[in-house]
Amino acid sequence: MEEKLNELKEIMGTLTDLNHAAALLGWDQETYMPPGGVESRGRSLATLGQMAQEISTDEKVGKLIEALEPWATEQDPDSDDARLIVVSRRGYDKAVKVPPKMVGERAMLTTQANAAWREARQKSDYSIFEPWMEKIVEFNQRYADLFKPYDHAYDVLLDDYEPKMKTEDVKKIFAEIRPRQVKLIEAIAAAKQVDDKVLFKNYPESDQVAMGEEIARLIGFDFNRGRQDKVHHPFASNIGYGDQRITYRVDENFFNTYIFSIMHESGHAMYEQGIPQSLSRTTLYGGTSLAIHESQSRLWENLVGRSLPFWEFYYPKLQARFPEQTKGVSLMEFYKAINKVEPSLIRVEADEATYNLHIMLRLEIEIGLLEGTIKVSELPQIWNDTFEEYLGIRPKNDAEGVLQDVHWSFGLFGYFSTYALGNLVSLQLWDQIRQDIPNLDDQSRQGKFDELLTWLNKNVHQHGSKFYPQDLVQRITGSKINGDPYIKYLNDKYSQIYGL
């Protein structure tokens, strides 16, 4: 069996190499590729994607997995090799339903669609992107049909990002937390509002980037195995073991844009940096799901980055770097400013109390597009109407409305709900961390995050994608994904800030 296991691992290694090459091309597309390279880049990505799909669906792979399954049942069920066979079986059974040419089609389509989205967003003109959005929706409908029968077509897309999660599960979770979040937002709106003028002064880009690198290093991002670069829409990319890229955008006249995005993306990258090399070049290398990945980024961005203990340590450093901008602003005034609750148009800059509403409206729209109850041509109107219903404000143009997120241009349907699920998981983990590290706040006040990162490495990162997300959360916290800890956190935090 060892020979067959090694043979399967070698095939996985080849697949991983191809996927990492594609990831590098995708990262370059977003950072340094000239606009004229779109078509060529699309063909390169299509070729790599099709090659990977042909290898992953080869009959030989299926036979190796089949031969190894009886052996795997005799091993420790939590061992790397036993889980490797289980996860590989799931991946193979899904992959064989998708023709390799369709994988290549998607790569070509989304590369061109992304270029159109960039132009459309820059010009705030949805009509430029609309024909590509039509193709993306139609592609996702065809993709979902490959997996019939299903309870709901959206289940197919959701499962690609959140294994074994169902649309009804997500809807139920959202239905439970939405009214409680709305109630909190209404209470905050009726309270005395926070003064956040300090955030809208001029913060030179070079100084912000230097500060961001300092903070990323402080919390544990290893620049020997990573780097940061500027883009239109921030993201983190895993190019392979020892090579995690984070990206950022910066607004010189709004403090929050850069600093919290760099902590967010560092959280993603530190997850990948914490996965052991022994899992590299296998199907177990990488995060277990996007919700778990998002739990890491939101933990560092919000539970650390927007916490009072963190700024008790770092605010004097901020004052030294930006003395004029912070002149006369106390620590508590600054802390309240960065945590101000106010419905806003841009998801990535939304406060913690309103953020999930951005996700819920996207889920509703995606399901409507997939079912055909929402037409692509109607999307800007539907977006604006739904946004106003959920958040009480209306986008003035397409750039701050339907075109604000890059994800649809990459064909990423079924993706958005994982952002909100990640928020919920972050608090379930945080509650457990606080039990295991009672002096966590004191450590943060001293700028010490080693023990926190070590805890995450041990309990989350080291497993890679060995365990399905719901199972992993239950192993760590004793319960599956639920919103109660998150709602309690929001109520406690904002009651203190707003005197509720």
pLDDT in tens, 371-388: 999 999 999 999 999 999
pLDDT, position 206: 97
pLDDT tens per residue across span 26-75: 999 999 999 999 999 999 999 999 999 999 999 999 999 999 999 999 99
pLDDT, position 423: 96
Which residues are annotated as catalytic?
265
Residue range 167-198+276-311+326-498, CATH number: 1.10.1370.30
pLDDT, position 346: 87
pLDDT, position 1: 82
Question: Which amino acid is located at 473 in the chain?
Answer: V
| 164 φψ region: left (φ > 0), alpha (ψ -120 to 50), beta (else) | left
pLDDT, position 138: 97
pLDDT lower than 50: segments of the chain: none
Confidence (pTM): 0.94
Q: Give CA–CA dist 157/185, Å, rounded.
A: 31
